[in-house]
Amino acid sequence: MIAAALRGNPFGWLVVAICFAALMAVYATRSSIGLMMSFWEVEPGWSRELASNAGALALVLMAVVSPFAGNLIDRFGPRIVCSSGLMCVAVGILATSAAIRDWQLIAFYGGLIGIGSGAIAMPMVSAAVARYFERGRGLASGIGFSGATGGQLIALPVLGAMVTALGWRGTYTVLGVLTLAIVAIAWLVLRRPPRVSEEPDVQMLAPLRERLRYVLSSGTFWLLAIGFLICGFSTAGVIEVHLIPYAEFCGFAPIEGATAYGVHGAFNMIGVVLFGLLSDWLHRPRLLASIYFTRVALFVLLTQVSGSLPLLFVFAALYGFLNFAAMPVIAHIIASRMGVGVIGLAMGLIFGGHWLGAAVGAYLGGAFYSLWARYDELWIVAALAVALAGCLSLFVPEDRGREPALQPA
């Protein structure tokens, strides 16, 4: 089946490969901050607080830039946005590799890389894939999205080996040059127009105010956006920040907690591709609800892992399998329910909410632990919140093949 899909739309799959490589470069760069902190403390003497501030600025800029980048993709296509975003990331990496002052880390890593990462994110992949695919859109989105996991699971260990051999400045120089190469490939390949539609999409040509009004007046958008805000709370906020500290709280060694997180990342890549494929065949709102409801059960399982390393690994594998699974399903619903012409804008807004939810989850985990010196309350709140997301998903209409005009969906 996959071979037939490749033969049916080879250029579309080339676009997917570029999206995969772009996300891998960006997520490897973002994840590298944890790897580089100890080296930065030695030379040039940047504190962990300074590095954390640079990382926080990057996240804020990602949330701000994402809706604007999505809108630009809708209007002008992925070529300019993808190339410009990757160029910001590449310049940011190379500039950071030569930085010596505190403000330079903030400006280059936090600023340039943050802006570029906001452009090269899931909304960019959603919009690019939607333009080049009519059939197999869910599978294509899932494979494109998996580049984000590849950046953490594949590229980050490579960077770890490189930093030992080349130092952190040499490693960033190589990473910056490789990212520039992806810029050149994206600029050359993405100039070919989409194959999906011969006529201009009225949604793409409409003024931003009208397109924004259309998106925000859509019940489908709000059901998905609120659910995905909760998704961000329960994944990027709660699990990605607090799983390893919780494992240590339960008595596991740091290496065991880190290994569990690695298992989480490995299954992440498998899940996003599989659920992208399933979204091409199954009822997508119910599929999305099943992802959220299964997470509820997994939070209950998480409360029982103390003293059982195999159970911790089972949780990490299953939760990782579902971590990115909602993304291709949501992108597929937006494309068919609201139209390809606003998918970049809609997904950009949805991802802004996702990062907001992640920030709340990260904060509450620390606040709850400060109050009660345990994590049980955090898991209960997360389970209840994800149950709400599942219920909201059941109200999303399923309407395959609908390409609406500018009217509420």
pTM equals 0.77
pLDDT of residue 409: 46
Please check whether residue 36 lies inside any domain of the structure.
Answer: yes
Q: How many residues does the chain have?
A: 409
pLDDT of residue 11: 83
> Which residues in the chain land under pLDDT 70?
1-8, 151-152, 192-205, 400-409
Please check whether residue 1 lies inside any domain of the structure.
Answer: no
Same domain, 159 and 207: no
pLDDT of residue 309: 93
Please check whether residue 405 lies inside any domain of the structure.
Answer: no
Same domain, 136 and 183: yes
Same domain, 256 and 373: yes
Q: Give dist(CA 280, CA 292) in Å, integer.
A: 19
The angle at the Cα of 329, spanning 405 to 30, to the nearest 5 degrees, equals 110
Boundary of a domain, candidates 194, 226, 247: 194
Boundary of a domain, candidates 175, 194, 213: 194
User: What are the pLDDT digits (tens) for 354-389?
Assistant: 878 887 887 888 888 888 988 999 999 999 999 999
Same domain, 143 and 166: yes
Same domain, 131 and 273: no
pLDDT of residue 207: 77
Among 119, 111, 103, 102, which Cα is nearest to 58's? 111
Q: Give dist(CA 29, CA 228) in Å, integer.
A: 24
Same domain, 220 and 141: no
Among 391, 396, 149, which Cα is nearest to 292's? 391
Same domain, 115 and 230: no
Same domain, 208 and 180: no
Q: Number of structural domains, the chain? A: 2
pLDDT of residue 170: 95
Boundary of a domain, candidates 163, 194, 225: 194
Please check whether residue 398 lies inside any domain of the structure.
Answer: no
Same domain, 160 and 273: no
Q: Give dist(CA 54, CA 112) in Å, integer.
A: 11
Which CATH number is 311's domain given? Answer: 1.20.1250.20
Same domain, 80 and 170: yes
Same domain, 104 and 183: yes
Q: Give dist(CA 318, CA 304) in Å, integer.
A: 15
Domain that holds residue 230: 203-393
Please check whether residue 132 lies inside any domain of the structure.
Answer: yes
Please check whether residue 401 lies inside any domain of the structure.
Answer: no
| Contact in structure between 88 and 119 (CB atoms under 8 Å) | yes
Q: Give dist(CA 201, CA 204) in Å, integer.
A: 5
pLDDT of residue 219: 94
pLDDT of residue 199: 44
Please check whether residue 275 lies inside any domain of the structure.
Answer: yes
User: What are the pLDDT digits (tens) for 61-84?
Assistant: 888 888 888 888 877 878 888 899
pLDDT of residue 196: 47
Please check whether residue 189 lies inside any domain of the structure.
Answer: yes
Q: Give dist(CA 62, CA 10) in Å, integer.
A: 31
Same domain, 172 and 229: no
User: What are the pLDDT digits (tens) for 312-327?
Assistant: 999 999 999 998 899 8
